[in-house]
Amino acid sequence: MDGNGRWATRRGLPRSAGHRAGARAVRRLVEAAARHPAIAALTLYAFSSDNWRRPADEVAALMRLFERHLRIESPRCAANSVRLEIVGRRDRLDPRLRAAIDAAELATRGGAHLHLRIAVDYSARDAIAARQLLPDVDLLIRTGGERRLSDFLLWESAYAELVFVEQMWPDFTAADLAAALTEFHTRARRFGALPAAALGATS
């Protein structure tokens, strides 16, 4: 979810306003994903383990935003059969945020419609070293014009299709998600094997 800071700066707003706009985008995109029949799981990269290196006031504002949104959104998730799971380290999070996470996971544990994972204090390298692996990723979308993975789901993305978009995260819409899915469906996924036509020719 890259680009909150630039979205705000371009509007003469503080970065925290960009994160709040990013949270509104999270709500829109989760609704869109939950409506989409092809999407069973969605993982959002909200805070990397390297993001602790940001100024303390930005980190604190982000943590407050996570806690507030978890408390607000978890009843809506439960009502819409969305299962919330927070992935990443918990031991460095504020106890109030940890309590909000526990409550949200408990309240939504029966959700079978969409499995929504939010990565907080997440490092793919640490997850690999600790064997805390998630299911394989089919499509990985990065906003904000960056073209790298930045320690996100490195193991799970071994055969992911990568889509990089220029939009800043707060501007990313349901239509942009649909466009990324259309792009995904144009890709030939071979997982190292040969295309079916070539297999037929060799047999």
Active-site residues, by number, are 2, 51
Tell me the closest approach of the beta carbon of residue 145 to ligand FPP, in angstroms: 9
Cβ neighbours of residue 141 closer than 8 Å, sequence gap 6 or more: 163, 164, 165, 177, 180
Between 67 and 193, whose beta carbon lies closer to ligand FPP? 67
Comparing CB distances to ligand FPP, the nearer of 120 and 139 is: 120
Contact with ligand FPP (CB under 6 A) among 16, 19, 42, 152: 19
- Determine the Cα–Cα distance for residues 58 and 93; give it in Å rounded to an integer: 15
* Continuous segment of H or E residues that includes residue 198: helix 196-202
Three-state DSSP class for residue 28:
helix
Binder among 16, 93, 144, 177 for ligand FPP (CB under 6 A):
144
Going by the DSSP 8-state scheme, the letter that residue 135 receives in this structure is: P
Q: How many residues bind ligand FPP (CB under 6 A)?
A: 21
Q: Based on the shown chain and the rule CB under 6 A, indicate whether residue 100 belongs to the binding site for ligand FPP.
A: no
Beta 41-48 vs 114-122: how paired, if at all?
parallel
Asked if 46 touches ligand FPP (CB under 6 A), the answer is yes
By C-beta, is 51 or 132 nearer to ligand FPP? 51
What is the Cα–Cα distance from 87 to 64, expressed in whole angstroms?
17
Give the Cα separation of 81 and 160 in Å (integer).
26
Member of 69, 83, 115, 117 binding ligand FPP (CB under 6 A): 69
Residue 3 sits in the site that holds ligand FPP (CB under 6 A): yes
Question: How far is 83 from 115, CA to CA, in rounded Å?
Answer: 5
Positions in the binding site for ligand FPP (CB under 6 A): 1-6, 19, 22-23, 26, 44, 46-47, 51, 62, 65-66, 69, 118, 144, 169
